[in-house]
Structure 1
């Protein structure tokens, strides 16, 4: 007896890929904090779809989203175990784009996420992260989310409500900062000038008293293993960065997850990304994030550097 299951043709899978790749990638990037891992997750999902998709599926978006979320939850559960042995601080992979974006890329750049959002997601459990992202970012109904995780709608509402309270302040802050982009660009430009000229002391008024410096070298590149707090200590580490690691490098004003940031290059190759978290009351810098782990810069070198040179 022949099976009634209809295996989609390659064309059908290609159509699904073209239609839903942006949504699935957006889910995975927010869940995993890595563009590289998100792309791999999307590719892997579609490569394993033969014999799985059939005509009984009424809502492909929901079906594929469920598959993606489950994969990400499993990956996060495994990754958290691996991070026990991670050297130093773990930071999300930055999304770097030119300040003056290429016109053809503008449509694709509408669905982005702030670096502060990714940092906040790291503080949540995989389930909390998934429920919040699906509801807050993609407007899934609680009923749909409950079906994805085999939980009650009431349970999902409680999870979402609990997480919403944790992140509401930061969401408001992102909205406030969006109206200060010109001011941020000027301050980041001053930051670049100070690091390039070795005049780090000129940054003293740009930093909050309780500023924190967080670096991620992944054990592959020299970077501060512990968080560095207080204005005096952060100025010291920035001075060391300026005098010992940056000579011979170029610093560029770029967009890092929708906020002004810095890309460090050496011979045209990205060796680091710096981004900031701002105190909305004083518009001073309260956190400096430095990503120098080369694994987290691969996407910048294969994507941003290439596209920027073509614009």
Structure 2
């Protein structure tokens, strides 16, 4: 094997080791894992066509290029999302959760559907700056270079984003037994019609949202309130889901359910919780385009 071939293989291995980290960054910016994979592959192709000897910090270079590519994709996607039918929810992912308790909690809090939805309320540059600094540990100088802004400007973006994150209180982790308690109560309500356990877990201002993307049946506006949600579960979900297959899954670092019909996943169900452990929102993704790649993935 020639020295050049060995070097090329080593570089590819380096990129593959970094790929889960890049996928994690891209997914958090885009809210779509399929788009994230495309952005990371575009990053690889640009890196492969660049003279690597001119790159001082390869990891930093790749993260910067990936971020810029994601912001380009966001600009196109945000225009398309204006015409999206009904509620838009992030694409759910099955995460290969690490066994280490501390890493597991950190991963869950930064990938949760609640956190992903909060990120959507930030501007693209606020989102990127916050993720780069607080999740991926880049310096303000690196952020400024990546986003083509001044260093003080990068600090302001991170500060504004932190304020939104703190206000929304989305970075707390709900204990897994509480998550499982909800999933059991929700499934029982659909299959048996017993609503009591589910109702006791819902916050009074709880919401239920579904994302069908105009491709399958789904409610367009969120259902708000414990009574209204229980009525919807009893009158609608029980009619269509009671006889389907239910499978537990780790969705976005938390426990969720995949609803399957004829071996195909037709819905992904997850929930967000307030700090007291009550269910704040039930999220049901039904858009087939967001369910076709629900295989376990590695993401950092």
Q: Could you say which TM-score interval applies, normalised by the shorter chain? A: 0.7 to 0.9
Q: Tell me if structure 1 keeps the 8 A contact 2:190–2:242.
A: no
1:28-66 CA distance string (max 9 Å, x none): 011111121111221222134343233011001111111
Q: How does 1:228-247 map to 2 (within 5 A)?
A: 228-247=223-242
Aligned equivalents of 1:54, 1:97: Cα separation in 2: 32
Aligned equivalents of 1:87, 1:32: Cα separation in 2: 18
Q: Give the Å deviation of 1:260.
A: 1.9
Q: Give the Å deviation of 1:137.
A: 0.2
Aligned equivalents of 1:176, 1:34: Cα separation in 2: 22
Q: Give the Å deviation of 1:147.
A: 1.2
Q: Which moved more, 1:227-236 or 1:194-203?
A: 194-203
Q: Tell me if structure 2 keeps the 8 A contact 1:89–1:216.
A: yes
Q: Please, which runs of 5 or more residues in structure 1 have no aligned partner?
A: 1-5, 307-311
Q: Tell me if structure 1 keeps the 8 A contact 2:26–2:67.
A: yes
Aligned equivalents of 2:134, 2:235: Cα separation in 1: 41
**Cα separation, partners in 2 of 1:202 and 1:149, compared to 1, 3 Å:** closer
Partner of 1:144: 142
SS in 1 for 2:172: helix
Partner of 1:3: none
SS in 2 for 1:20: helix
| 1:288 and 2:285 correspond | no
Q: How does 1:48-67 map to 2 (within 5 A)?
A: 48-67=46-65
Q: How does 1:23-38 map to 2 (within 5 A)?
A: 23-38=21-36
Partner of 1:209: 204
Partner of 1:298: 292
Q: Give the Å deviation of 1:299.
A: 1.4
Aligned equivalents of 1:234, 1:168: Cα separation in 2: 28
Aligned equivalents of 2:41, 2:145: Cα separation in 1: 24
Q: Give the Å deviation of 1:247.
A: 3.5
Partner of 2:183: 188
SS in 1 for 2:248: strand
Q: Give the Å deviation of 1:201.
A: 5.1
Partner of 1:175: 172
Aligned equivalents of 2:80, 2:55: Cα separation in 1: 36
Q: Which moved more, 1:271-280 or 1:243-252?
A: 243-252
Aligned equivalents of 1:20, 1:202: Cα separation in 2: 44
Q: Give the Å deviation of 1:192.
A: 1.3
Aligned equivalents of 1:235, 1:261: Cα separation in 2: 19
Q: Which moved more, 1:256-265 or 1:10-19?
A: 10-19
List structure 1 runs of 4+ shifted beyond 3 angstroms.
109-112, 173-176
Q: Tell me if structure 2 keeps the 8 A contact 1:273–1:290.
A: yes
1:139-172 CA distance string (max 9 Å, x none): 111111011122111111111111101102455x
Q: Give the Å deviation of 1:130.
A: 0.3
Aligned equivalents of 2:198, 2:25: Cα separation in 1: 37
1:92-112 CA distance string (max 9 Å, x none): 0112258xx7xxx759x9556
Give the alignment's TM-score, normalised by structure 1: 0.84
